[in-house]
Amino acid sequence: MESRKQRHQHEIKAAEALDATQNSTSNNPFAGPIGGGRGPHKKRSKKSKWLTAFLAVIVVVGFVLVIKALFTDNNAALNPQDTTFKTVKINDGSTAMQMGQTLENKKIIKSAKAFYKYAMSQGAEKLQAGTYHLSPSQTIQLIYQQMVSGPTAEPSLPKGYVMVSVGQSASQVAKNVSDKVKNVSEQSVLTALNDKKLIAKMYQKYPDLLRGVNQSDTQDAKLLDYIYPQAFNLTNAKNASDVVETMLKTSDTTMQPYYKTLKSNGLATPNVMALIATSGKSEFERRLAFVKKIAPYAQELSKKYGILASVSIAQAAHESNWDNSKLSSKYNNFYGVKTQDTTPGKSVVLDTTEYVDGKPETQQARFAVYDSWKDSMREHAETIVNGNSWNPNQFKDVLAAKNYKQAAKALYDDHYATDVNYTKLLINVIETWNMQKYDK
Protein backbone atom coordinates (compact mmCIF):
# COMPACT_ATOMS: atom_id res chain seq x y z
CA MET A 1 0.00 0.00 0.00
CA GLU A 2 1.37 3.44 -0.93
CA SER A 3 2.27 5.82 1.85
CA ARG A 4 0.61 9.24 2.10
CA LYS A 5 3.86 10.86 0.95
CA GLN A 6 4.09 8.57 -2.12
CA ARG A 7 0.50 9.42 -3.04
CA HIS A 8 1.38 13.11 -2.92
CA GLN A 9 4.40 12.52 -5.18
CA HIS A 10 2.11 10.87 -7.74
CA GLU A 11 -0.22 13.83 -7.45
CA ILE A 12 2.66 16.28 -8.06
CA LYS A 13 3.60 14.40 -11.26
CA ALA A 14 -0.04 14.33 -12.30
CA ALA A 15 -0.32 18.06 -11.71
CA GLU A 16 2.80 18.72 -13.79
CA ALA A 17 1.41 16.57 -16.60
CA LEU A 18 -1.90 18.45 -16.40
CA ASP A 19 -0.11 21.81 -16.67
CA ALA A 20 1.98 20.60 -19.61
CA THR A 21 -1.13 19.45 -21.49
CA GLN A 22 -2.96 22.69 -20.81
CA ASN A 23 0.02 24.83 -21.90
CA SER A 24 0.41 22.94 -25.17
CA THR A 25 -3.19 23.58 -26.13
CA SER A 26 -3.74 27.06 -24.72
CA ASN A 27 -0.69 29.04 -25.91
CA ASN A 28 -2.47 29.91 -29.14
CA PRO A 29 -6.21 29.66 -28.63
CA PHE A 30 -6.89 30.89 -32.17
CA ALA A 31 -4.37 28.68 -33.95
CA GLY A 32 -5.43 27.22 -37.27
CA PRO A 33 -7.42 28.83 -40.08
CA ILE A 34 -11.10 29.41 -39.66
CA GLY A 35 -11.76 28.79 -43.31
CA GLY A 36 -9.89 28.28 -46.58
CA GLY A 37 -8.80 31.21 -48.78
CA ARG A 38 -10.88 32.16 -51.75
CA GLY A 39 -10.18 34.13 -54.87
CA PRO A 40 -11.62 37.61 -55.44
CA HIS A 41 -15.25 37.99 -56.44
CA LYS A 42 -16.94 41.02 -57.79
CA LYS A 43 -20.20 40.19 -56.04
CA ARG A 44 -20.81 38.06 -52.93
CA SER A 45 -24.02 36.08 -52.49
CA LYS A 46 -26.38 36.56 -49.52
CA LYS A 47 -25.46 33.06 -48.36
CA SER A 48 -21.79 34.00 -48.30
CA LYS A 49 -22.52 37.15 -46.29
CA TRP A 50 -24.55 35.22 -43.73
CA LEU A 51 -21.78 32.62 -43.42
CA THR A 52 -19.18 35.34 -42.87
CA ALA A 53 -21.34 36.98 -40.20
CA PHE A 54 -21.92 33.64 -38.48
CA LEU A 55 -18.19 32.90 -38.40
CA ALA A 56 -17.52 36.38 -37.02
CA VAL A 57 -19.96 35.76 -34.17
CA ILE A 58 -18.23 32.47 -33.36
CA VAL A 59 -14.86 34.25 -33.25
CA VAL A 60 -16.19 36.96 -30.91
CA VAL A 61 -17.88 34.46 -28.59
CA GLY A 62 -14.75 32.34 -28.52
CA PHE A 63 -12.62 35.38 -27.73
CA VAL A 64 -14.93 36.37 -24.85
CA LEU A 65 -14.87 32.86 -23.39
CA VAL A 66 -11.08 32.67 -23.58
CA ILE A 67 -10.68 36.09 -21.92
CA LYS A 68 -13.13 35.10 -19.20
CA ALA A 69 -11.25 31.88 -18.59
CA LEU A 70 -7.94 33.72 -18.41
CA PHE A 71 -9.21 36.22 -15.85
CA THR A 72 -11.38 33.90 -13.71
CA ASP A 73 -9.77 33.26 -10.35
CA ASN A 74 -10.82 29.78 -9.26
CA ASN A 75 -9.02 30.34 -5.96
CA ALA A 76 -11.40 33.17 -5.06
CA ALA A 77 -14.35 32.68 -2.74
CA LEU A 78 -17.31 30.85 -4.27
CA ASN A 79 -19.70 33.44 -2.81
CA PRO A 80 -18.24 36.29 -0.71
CA GLN A 81 -21.77 37.22 0.41
CA ASP A 82 -22.62 33.79 1.85
CA THR A 83 -20.91 33.90 5.24
CA THR A 84 -22.75 30.91 6.72
CA PHE A 85 -20.69 27.85 7.61
CA LYS A 86 -21.22 24.22 6.69
CA THR A 87 -19.93 21.14 8.47
CA VAL A 88 -17.55 19.23 6.19
CA LYS A 89 -15.97 15.89 7.07
CA ILE A 90 -12.63 15.07 5.47
CA ASN A 91 -11.99 11.35 5.74
CA ASP A 92 -8.68 9.88 6.87
CA GLY A 93 -6.40 9.01 3.97
CA SER A 94 -8.04 11.48 1.56
CA THR A 95 -5.76 12.87 -1.15
CA ALA A 96 -5.70 16.57 -1.98
CA MET A 97 -7.87 15.91 -5.04
CA GLN A 98 -10.40 13.95 -2.98
CA MET A 99 -10.49 16.73 -0.40
CA GLY A 100 -11.08 19.29 -3.13
CA GLN A 101 -13.88 17.20 -4.61
CA THR A 102 -15.56 16.98 -1.19
CA LEU A 103 -15.37 20.77 -0.85
CA GLU A 104 -16.76 21.31 -4.35
CA ASN A 105 -19.61 18.84 -3.73
CA LYS A 106 -20.48 20.68 -0.52
CA LYS A 107 -20.55 23.95 -2.51
CA ILE A 108 -17.70 25.47 -0.52
CA ILE A 109 -15.28 26.14 -3.40
CA LYS A 110 -15.52 26.71 -7.15
CA SER A 111 -13.17 24.00 -8.34
CA ALA A 112 -11.70 20.81 -6.91
CA LYS A 113 -8.84 21.06 -9.40
CA ALA A 114 -8.02 24.58 -8.21
CA PHE A 115 -7.85 23.38 -4.60
CA TYR A 116 -5.73 20.42 -5.66
CA LYS A 117 -3.22 22.56 -7.57
CA TYR A 118 -2.97 25.13 -4.77
CA ALA A 119 -2.51 22.42 -2.13
CA MET A 120 0.21 20.74 -4.22
CA SER A 121 2.05 24.04 -4.60
CA GLN A 122 1.92 24.76 -0.86
CA GLY A 123 2.39 21.24 0.54
CA ALA A 124 -0.53 18.83 0.37
CA GLU A 125 1.01 16.61 3.02
CA LYS A 126 0.28 19.33 5.61
CA LEU A 127 -3.51 18.98 5.16
CA GLN A 128 -5.27 17.24 8.03
CA ALA A 129 -8.36 15.04 8.02
CA GLY A 130 -11.24 15.80 10.38
CA THR A 131 -14.50 17.71 10.65
CA TYR A 132 -14.35 21.38 9.66
CA HIS A 133 -16.68 24.36 9.62
CA LEU A 134 -16.14 26.05 6.26
CA SER A 135 -17.86 28.84 4.35
CA PRO A 136 -18.38 29.75 0.67
CA SER A 137 -17.05 33.20 1.63
CA GLN A 138 -13.58 31.74 2.24
CA THR A 139 -10.95 31.68 -0.49
CA ILE A 140 -9.07 28.49 -1.26
CA GLN A 141 -6.00 30.00 0.41
CA LEU A 142 -7.94 30.53 3.65
CA ILE A 143 -9.49 27.05 3.53
CA TYR A 144 -6.06 25.51 2.96
CA GLN A 145 -4.67 27.50 5.90
CA GLN A 146 -7.51 26.29 8.14
CA MET A 147 -7.10 22.66 7.10
CA VAL A 148 -3.36 22.81 7.74
CA SER A 149 -4.04 24.11 11.25
CA GLY A 150 -6.43 21.21 11.88
CA PRO A 151 -10.12 20.74 12.72
CA THR A 152 -9.87 22.40 16.15
CA ALA A 153 -8.56 25.68 14.70
CA GLU A 154 -10.76 28.75 14.38
CA PRO A 155 -12.01 29.42 10.82
CA SER A 156 -9.64 31.50 8.70
CA LEU A 157 -11.52 34.58 7.48
CA PRO A 158 -10.89 37.42 5.01
CA LYS A 159 -9.69 40.72 6.43
CA GLY A 160 -12.50 42.68 8.10
CA TYR A 161 -14.67 39.58 8.72
CA VAL A 162 -15.68 38.54 12.23
CA MET A 163 -16.95 35.11 13.24
CA VAL A 164 -19.74 34.61 15.78
CA SER A 165 -19.76 30.99 16.96
CA VAL A 166 -22.43 28.93 18.72
CA GLY A 167 -22.26 29.45 22.47
CA GLN A 168 -20.02 32.53 22.44
CA SER A 169 -20.64 35.02 25.22
CA ALA A 170 -21.26 38.71 24.62
CA SER A 171 -17.76 39.50 25.94
CA GLN A 172 -16.15 37.07 23.50
CA VAL A 173 -18.06 38.51 20.55
CA ALA A 174 -17.22 42.08 21.62
CA LYS A 175 -13.52 41.24 21.89
CA ASN A 176 -13.45 39.63 18.44
CA VAL A 177 -15.08 42.72 16.98
CA SER A 178 -12.70 45.14 18.70
CA ASP A 179 -9.74 43.11 17.41
CA LYS A 180 -10.94 43.29 13.81
CA VAL A 181 -12.78 46.63 13.50
CA LYS A 182 -10.85 49.86 13.85
CA ASN A 183 -11.98 52.38 16.51
CA VAL A 184 -14.62 50.04 17.98
CA SER A 185 -14.10 49.05 21.62
CA GLU A 186 -15.36 45.99 23.48
CA GLN A 187 -17.45 48.11 25.82
CA SER A 188 -19.12 49.99 22.97
CA VAL A 189 -20.21 46.68 21.40
CA LEU A 190 -21.57 45.40 24.72
CA THR A 191 -23.51 48.64 25.16
CA ALA A 192 -24.93 48.48 21.62
CA LEU A 193 -26.11 44.89 22.08
CA ASN A 194 -28.39 46.03 24.89
CA ASP A 195 -29.26 49.56 23.73
CA LYS A 196 -33.04 50.07 24.02
CA LYS A 197 -33.21 52.60 21.18
CA LEU A 198 -31.22 50.31 18.89
CA ILE A 199 -33.43 47.35 19.86
CA ALA A 200 -36.55 49.35 18.95
CA LYS A 201 -34.99 50.46 15.65
CA MET A 202 -33.92 46.93 14.72
CA TYR A 203 -37.33 45.52 15.65
CA GLN A 204 -38.94 47.95 13.21
CA LYS A 205 -36.53 46.88 10.46
CA TYR A 206 -36.52 43.13 11.12
CA PRO A 207 -39.73 42.19 12.97
CA ASP A 208 -39.59 38.52 11.94
CA LEU A 209 -36.03 38.12 13.18
CA LEU A 210 -36.61 39.93 16.47
CA ARG A 211 -40.05 38.51 17.20
CA GLY A 212 -40.33 38.27 20.98
CA VAL A 213 -37.30 40.43 21.77
CA ASN A 214 -39.38 42.67 24.05
CA GLN A 215 -40.50 39.64 26.08
CA SER A 216 -37.01 38.14 26.25
CA ASP A 217 -35.73 36.94 29.62
CA THR A 218 -32.18 37.94 28.70
CA GLN A 219 -30.99 40.73 30.99
CA ASP A 220 -27.89 41.81 29.05
CA ALA A 221 -26.82 41.85 25.40
CA LYS A 222 -30.35 41.05 24.22
CA LEU A 223 -29.58 41.55 20.53
CA LEU A 224 -26.87 38.87 20.63
CA ASP A 225 -29.62 36.23 20.89
CA TYR A 226 -30.79 37.23 17.39
CA ILE A 227 -27.39 37.18 15.70
CA TYR A 228 -26.95 34.04 13.61
CA PRO A 229 -23.72 32.04 14.23
CA GLN A 230 -21.77 32.87 11.08
CA ALA A 231 -19.14 35.26 9.73
CA PHE A 232 -19.92 38.94 9.14
CA ASN A 233 -18.32 41.41 6.76
CA LEU A 234 -17.65 44.46 8.94
CA THR A 235 -15.26 46.29 6.62
CA ASN A 236 -17.67 49.24 6.31
CA ALA A 237 -18.62 49.46 9.99
CA LYS A 238 -17.56 52.73 11.60
CA ASN A 239 -18.92 52.24 15.12
CA ALA A 240 -20.54 49.67 17.41
CA SER A 241 -24.06 50.43 16.20
CA ASP A 242 -22.95 49.82 12.61
CA VAL A 243 -21.46 46.49 13.71
CA VAL A 244 -24.66 45.32 15.38
CA GLU A 245 -26.89 46.57 12.54
CA THR A 246 -24.73 44.75 9.96
CA MET A 247 -24.87 41.54 11.96
CA LEU A 248 -28.66 41.69 12.32
CA LYS A 249 -29.18 42.55 8.66
CA THR A 250 -27.07 39.57 7.59
CA SER A 251 -28.80 37.31 10.12
CA ASP A 252 -32.20 38.38 8.80
CA THR A 253 -31.17 37.39 5.28
CA THR A 254 -29.94 33.99 6.51
CA MET A 255 -33.14 33.29 8.45
CA GLN A 256 -35.60 34.36 5.74
CA PRO A 257 -36.36 30.79 4.57
CA TYR A 258 -37.47 29.80 8.10
CA TYR A 259 -39.77 32.64 9.22
CA LYS A 260 -43.01 31.19 7.90
CA THR A 261 -42.39 27.84 9.61
CA LEU A 262 -41.26 29.45 12.86
CA LYS A 263 -44.28 31.71 13.05
CA SER A 264 -46.82 28.97 12.25
CA ASN A 265 -45.34 26.70 14.94
CA GLY A 266 -44.79 29.39 17.56
CA LEU A 267 -41.02 28.86 17.59
CA ALA A 268 -38.70 31.64 18.76
CA THR A 269 -35.84 32.56 16.43
CA PRO A 270 -33.01 32.33 19.00
CA ASN A 271 -34.02 28.84 20.06
CA VAL A 272 -33.42 27.21 16.68
CA MET A 273 -30.52 29.30 15.34
CA ALA A 274 -27.83 27.10 16.86
CA LEU A 275 -29.41 23.92 15.49
CA ILE A 276 -29.77 25.37 11.98
CA ALA A 277 -26.22 26.70 12.05
CA THR A 278 -24.67 23.41 13.17
CA SER A 279 -26.96 20.78 11.64
CA GLY A 280 -28.69 22.52 8.73
CA LYS A 281 -32.21 22.89 7.42
CA SER A 282 -32.87 19.18 6.89
CA GLU A 283 -32.22 18.33 10.56
CA PHE A 284 -34.41 21.22 11.69
CA GLU A 285 -37.24 19.96 9.49
CA ARG A 286 -36.71 16.35 10.62
CA ARG A 287 -37.02 17.26 14.29
CA LEU A 288 -40.09 19.40 13.72
CA ALA A 289 -41.70 16.53 11.80
CA PHE A 290 -40.95 14.17 14.70
CA VAL A 291 -42.72 16.50 17.16
CA LYS A 292 -45.77 16.80 14.92
CA LYS A 293 -45.87 13.04 14.39
CA ILE A 294 -46.06 12.03 18.05
CA ALA A 295 -47.77 15.09 19.59
CA PRO A 296 -51.39 13.98 18.90
CA TYR A 297 -50.80 10.58 20.53
CA ALA A 298 -49.03 12.25 23.47
CA GLN A 299 -52.17 14.34 23.99
CA GLU A 300 -54.32 11.19 23.94
CA LEU A 301 -52.09 9.62 26.59
CA SER A 302 -52.23 12.80 28.65
CA LYS A 303 -56.01 12.64 28.83
CA LYS A 304 -55.93 8.96 29.80
CA TYR A 305 -52.98 8.86 32.21
CA GLY A 306 -52.44 12.44 33.37
CA ILE A 307 -48.82 12.85 32.24
CA LEU A 308 -48.20 16.20 30.52
CA ALA A 309 -47.98 15.84 26.73
CA SER A 310 -45.00 18.20 26.53
CA VAL A 311 -43.02 16.02 28.93
CA SER A 312 -43.89 12.81 27.06
CA ILE A 313 -42.80 14.37 23.74
CA ALA A 314 -39.64 15.93 25.15
CA GLN A 315 -38.52 12.72 26.82
CA ALA A 316 -39.08 10.79 23.60
CA ALA A 317 -37.03 13.35 21.65
CA HIS A 318 -34.21 13.53 24.18
CA GLU A 319 -33.95 9.83 25.00
CA SER A 320 -34.09 8.72 21.36
CA ASN A 321 -31.89 11.51 19.98
CA TRP A 322 -34.89 12.61 17.95
CA ASP A 323 -35.62 9.07 16.76
CA ASN A 324 -32.06 8.82 15.49
CA SER A 325 -30.74 6.21 17.93
CA LYS A 326 -30.52 2.54 17.02
CA LEU A 327 -32.77 1.64 19.95
CA SER A 328 -35.45 4.00 18.72
CA SER A 329 -35.26 3.73 14.94
CA LYS A 330 -34.83 -0.07 14.85
CA TYR A 331 -36.58 -1.26 18.02
CA ASN A 332 -39.26 1.46 18.55
CA ASN A 333 -37.97 2.17 22.08
CA PHE A 334 -38.25 5.95 22.50
CA TYR A 335 -37.47 6.13 26.22
CA GLY A 336 -34.53 3.81 26.78
CA VAL A 337 -36.73 1.36 28.72
CA LYS A 338 -34.77 -1.59 30.12
CA THR A 339 -36.21 -5.07 30.68
CA GLN A 340 -35.35 -8.46 32.12
CA ASP A 341 -37.41 -10.25 29.47
CA THR A 342 -35.10 -12.54 27.48
CA THR A 343 -37.83 -13.82 25.14
CA PRO A 344 -36.53 -13.68 21.54
CA GLY A 345 -37.74 -10.53 19.82
CA LYS A 346 -38.77 -8.85 23.10
CA SER A 347 -35.38 -7.41 24.10
CA VAL A 348 -31.93 -6.48 22.82
CA VAL A 349 -28.57 -5.87 24.55
CA LEU A 350 -26.90 -2.57 23.62
CA ASP A 351 -24.30 -0.14 24.95
CA THR A 352 -25.68 2.72 27.02
CA THR A 353 -24.34 5.73 28.92
CA GLU A 354 -25.06 5.81 32.62
CA TYR A 355 -24.04 8.48 35.10
CA VAL A 356 -22.22 7.22 38.21
CA ASP A 357 -21.44 9.92 40.77
CA GLY A 358 -22.16 12.51 38.10
CA LYS A 359 -19.71 11.02 35.58
CA PRO A 360 -20.72 9.23 32.34
CA GLU A 361 -19.86 5.55 31.97
CA THR A 362 -20.50 3.21 29.03
CA GLN A 363 -22.28 0.04 30.12
CA GLN A 364 -24.24 -2.76 28.48
CA ALA A 365 -27.92 -3.23 29.27
CA ARG A 366 -30.94 -5.18 28.03
CA PHE A 367 -33.60 -2.95 26.47
CA ALA A 368 -37.22 -3.59 25.58
CA VAL A 369 -38.24 -4.04 21.95
CA TYR A 370 -41.67 -2.75 20.84
CA ASP A 371 -43.86 -3.55 17.88
CA SER A 372 -44.56 0.16 17.30
CA TRP A 373 -43.57 3.58 18.65
CA LYS A 374 -47.08 4.00 20.04
CA ASP A 375 -46.55 0.89 22.19
CA SER A 376 -43.41 2.52 23.53
CA MET A 377 -45.20 5.77 24.40
CA ARG A 378 -48.12 3.95 26.02
CA GLU A 379 -45.89 1.81 28.24
CA HIS A 380 -43.92 4.91 29.24
CA ALA A 381 -47.14 6.59 30.41
CA GLU A 382 -48.19 3.45 32.28
CA THR A 383 -44.81 3.32 34.02
CA ILE A 384 -45.19 6.92 35.23
CA VAL A 385 -48.66 6.08 36.57
CA ASN A 386 -47.95 2.63 38.05
CA GLY A 387 -44.33 3.04 39.13
CA ASN A 388 -42.43 -0.21 39.45
CA SER A 389 -42.74 -3.45 41.36
CA TRP A 390 -40.89 -2.18 44.43
CA ASN A 391 -42.43 1.32 44.51
CA PRO A 392 -45.78 1.87 42.76
CA ASN A 393 -45.72 5.56 43.80
CA GLN A 394 -42.22 6.30 42.54
CA PHE A 395 -43.35 8.96 40.03
CA LYS A 396 -46.22 10.51 41.99
CA ASP A 397 -44.48 13.92 41.92
CA VAL A 398 -44.40 13.81 38.11
CA LEU A 399 -48.15 13.20 37.98
CA ALA A 400 -48.79 15.93 40.55
CA ALA A 401 -46.79 18.53 38.61
CA LYS A 402 -48.87 21.45 37.37
CA ASN A 403 -46.50 22.47 34.56
CA TYR A 404 -43.62 21.10 32.52
CA LYS A 405 -40.92 22.70 34.68
CA GLN A 406 -42.19 21.01 37.81
CA ALA A 407 -42.58 17.71 35.96
CA ALA A 408 -39.04 17.88 34.54
CA LYS A 409 -37.61 18.45 38.03
CA ALA A 410 -39.75 15.64 39.49
CA LEU A 411 -38.43 13.15 36.92
CA TYR A 412 -34.91 13.65 38.23
CA ASP A 413 -35.93 13.86 41.87
CA ASP A 414 -37.96 10.64 41.51
CA HIS A 415 -34.94 8.89 39.96
CA TYR A 416 -36.26 8.42 36.45
CA ALA A 417 -32.88 9.61 35.11
CA THR A 418 -29.32 9.63 36.49
CA ASP A 419 -28.04 12.65 34.50
CA VAL A 420 -27.70 15.68 36.82
CA ASN A 421 -28.53 17.94 33.86
CA TYR A 422 -31.70 16.02 32.94
CA THR A 423 -34.14 18.66 34.20
CA LYS A 424 -32.38 21.48 32.39
CA LEU A 425 -32.10 19.47 29.17
CA LEU A 426 -35.78 18.55 29.20
CA ILE A 427 -36.95 22.12 29.83
CA ASN A 428 -34.71 23.37 27.01
CA VAL A 429 -36.17 20.83 24.56
CA ILE A 430 -39.74 21.77 25.52
CA GLU A 431 -39.20 25.52 25.21
CA THR A 432 -37.11 25.33 22.03
CA TRP A 433 -39.88 23.46 20.19
CA ASN A 434 -42.82 25.11 21.96
CA MET A 435 -44.04 21.71 23.19
CA GLN A 436 -45.88 23.32 26.09
CA LYS A 437 -48.61 24.30 23.67
CA TYR A 438 -49.67 20.63 23.58
CA ASP A 439 -50.51 20.81 27.30
CA LYS A 440 -53.43 23.19 26.68
Q: Give 353-388 pLDDT, tens digit per residue.
A: 777 777 888 888 899 999 999 999 999 999 999 998
Please indicate, yes or no, whether residues 136 and 193 belong to a single structural domain of this protein.
Answer: no
Q: For residue 255, give the nearest of 237, 268, 245 by alpha carbon.
A: 268
Distances (CA, A) of 89 to 94, 151, 300: 11, 9, 42
Please indicate, yes or no, whether residues 298 and 408 belong to a single structural domain of this protein.
Answer: yes
Q: Hey, CA dihedral for 211, 216, 219, 225, is it positive or negative?
A: negative
Residue 338: strand pairing partners = 367
pLDDT given for residue 392 in this prediction: 92
Domain assignment of residue 291, yes or no: yes
Q: Does position 292 have pLDDT exceeding 60, yes or no?
A: yes
Last residue of a domain, one of 133, 158, 183: 158
Q: Does position 43 have pLDDT exceeding 60, yes or no?
A: no
- In terms of pLDDT, which residue wins out, 156 or 47? 156
pLDDT given for residue 45 in this prediction: 63
Rg of the chain over all Cα atoms, to the nearest angstrom: 30
Please indicate, yes or no, whether residues 303 and 240 belong to a single structural domain of this protein.
Answer: no
* Intra-chain end-to-end CA distance of the chain, in Å: 64
- Write down the H helix ranges in 280-421: 281-305, 309-319, 326-331, 373-386, 396-400, 404-413
pLDDT given for residue 352 in this prediction: 80
Please indicate, yes or no, whether residues 193 and 311 belong to a single structural domain of this protein.
Answer: no
pLDDT given for residue 436 in this prediction: 96
> Which CATH number goes with the domain that contains 99?
3.30.1490.480
Please indicate, yes or no, whether residues 211 and 193 belong to a single structural domain of this protein.
Answer: yes
pLDDT given for residue 3 in this prediction: 52
Domain assignment of residue 14, yes or no: no
* Averaged pLDDT score across all residues of the chain: 86
Q: Does position 110 have pLDDT exceeding 60, yes or no?
A: yes
Domain assignment of residue 44, yes or no: no
Please indicate, yes or no, whether residues 343 and 242 belong to a single structural domain of this protein.
Answer: no
> Which CATH number goes with the domain that contains 317?
1.10.530.10
**Angle at which helices 422-432 and 309-319 cross, to 10°:** 110
- Cα separation, 202 vs 216, in Å, equals 15
Per-residue HEC secondary structure of 156-222 comes to: CCCCCEEECCCCCCHHHHHHHHHHHCCCCCHHHHHHHCCCHHHHHHHHHHCCCCCCCHHHCCCCCCH
Residue 333, domain extent: 280-439
Q: How many CA atoms lie within 13 A of 62 on its CB side?
A: 12
Please indicate, yes or no, whether residues 315 and 235 belong to a single structural domain of this protein.
Answer: no
Last residue of a domain, one of 158, 185, 216: 158
Last residue of a domain, one of 136, 158, 180: 158
Domain assignment of residue 335, yes or no: yes
Please indicate, yes or no, whether residues 431 and 299 belong to a single structural domain of this protein.
Answer: yes
Domain assignment of residue 187, yes or no: yes
Please indicate, yes or no, whether residues 213 and 361 belong to a single structural domain of this protein.
Answer: no
- In terms of pLDDT, which residue wins out, 59 or 8? 59
Please indicate, yes or no, whether residues 174 and 148 belong to a single structural domain of this protein.
Answer: no
Q: Say what percent of the chain tops pLDDT 90.
A: 65
Please indicate, yes or no, whether residues 203 and 134 belong to a single structural domain of this protein.
Answer: no
Query: Residue 255, Cα to own-chain centre: how many angstroms?
Result: 13
Domain assignment of residue 320, yes or no: yes
Which region holds residue 160: left if phi is over 0, alpha if psi is between -120 and 50, else beta? left
Average pLDDT over residues 323-328: 93
Please indicate, yes or no, whether residues 146 and 225 belong to a single structural domain of this protein.
Answer: no
- Weakest mean pLDDT among 3-7, 51-55, 133-137, 403-407: 3-7
Average pLDDT over residues 75-88: 88
The total number of structural domains in the chain stands at 3
pLDDT given for residue 21 in this prediction: 47
Q: For residue 313, give the nearest of 401, 438, 425 by alpha carbon.
A: 438
Q: Give 249-285 pLDDT, tens digit per residue.
A: 999 999 999 999 999 999 999 989 999 998 889 999 9
Neighbour-count burial of 100, counting CB atoms closer than 10 A to its CB (0-12 exposed, 13-18 middle, 19+ buried): buried
Domain assignment of residue 65, yes or no: no
The vertex-294 CA angle with 291 and 300, nearest 5°, equals 130
Average pLDDT over residues 329-334: 95
- Cα separation, 328 vs 237, in Å, equals 49
Domain assignment of residue 146, yes or no: yes
